[in-house]
Structure 1
Amino acid sequence: MSAVKKSVAIVDDDEVLLEATSGFLEAMGYEPLPFPSGESFLTFDQKEGLTLLLSDINMPGMSGFELLDIVRKKHPDMRIVMMTALKDESIIRKALAGGAQALLQKPILADDLVKCIEG
């Protein structure tokens, strides 16, 4: 990897998953940027430098689908990967149709996450 760390924003209301994913990414040499909600991510003003946005779908308040729609309109080139614990084909289709590059199934496998980041 280059000397510049790749930044990955993680949006999830599950604090344990947010901390675990952040710790894993940091150990792998990435710069994790954790956010507990879509609303908090939208206040972040350095979105242009992100390598990837990783967002949960089911969250209180703003859903991951709502966040996907807003970010896709404002930052059409941003790479976005959604994640969910639900096993529903319609959710996968909706995420991909909305502009997500992939949908990861929770619990997320480390290899799958790295593949999405390295894209």
Structure 2
Amino acid sequence: MKQRVLIVDDDRLVADTLSLVFRLNGFDSEARYSAADGLNLARSFAPTLLLTDVTMPGESGLDLADAVAREMPDCKLMMLTAYESNTPHVEKHTARTRRPIRMLYKPVRPEELIREVHELLLA
């Protein structure tokens, strides 16, 4: 059975491109463009990994990660951000929830992303 990755990013080009990268590397992937749409899909898609942007209009990626973690405790979490200033927020969130979240910075090379995902899924 293929690993399932849900990508949530308000930048449609980023989300769709990442979804394609995952499909080309043997994953089943879906892209959504808001936390609300991501959570709705997660309930039926049951992702192995949630890859979400930190900063989005409306609910943030951290809000989405909380919701997914509550409903799908086995789902691994990975954040993607273009802003280094988001690092302390993610670190505080991780310390508070005691749930590990891997973080990558945009732009990320596809081979680096896939390597990080494989490491996270095997952990």
TM-score range, shorter chain: 0.7 to 0.9
Q: Could you tell me which of 39, 44, 52 is aligned with 1:42?
A: 39
The structural deviation recorded for 1:38 is 0.8
Normalized against structure 1, the TM-score is what? 0.84
Q: CA RMSD in A?
A: 1.8
Structure 2: gaps of 5 or more residues: none
Q: Could you tell me which of 74, 87, 101 is aligned with 2:71?
A: 74
Structure with more helix by fraction: 2
| Structure 1 counterpart of 2:104 | 104
The structural deviation recorded for 1:35 is 0.8
Off by >4 Å, runs of 4+ in structure 1:
none
**Residues 64 and 82, structure 1, Cα contact 8 Å, conserved in 2:** yes
Distance (whole Å) between structure 1 residues aligned to residue 76 and residue 45 of structure 2: 11
* 1:63-113: CA deviation from partner (whole Å, max 9, x where unpaired): 111111222222222101011101134134135334343011111222332
Q: Which amino acid aligns with 2:89?
A: I
Q: How does 1:13-92 map to 2 (within 5 A)?
A: 13-44=10-41, 45-48=43-46, 50-88=47-85, 89-92=87-90
Q: Which amino acid aligns with 2:79?
A: M
Q: Which amino acid aligns with 2:64?
A: L
Normalized against structure 2, the TM-score is what? 0.82
Between 1:98-107 and 1:58-67, the stretch displaced more is 98-107
Between 1:20-29 and 1:52-61, the stretch displaced more is 20-29
Structure 1 residue 12 and structure 2 residue 9: aligned? yes
| Structure 1 counterpart of 2:117 | 117
Structure 1: gaps of 5 or more residues: none
Residues 1:65 and 1:58: Cα distance change in structure 2 (over 3 Å): same
The structural deviation recorded for 1:19 is 1.5
The structural deviation recorded for 1:31 is 1.3
Distance (whole Å) between structure 2 residues aligned to residue 25 and residue 32 of structure 1: 6
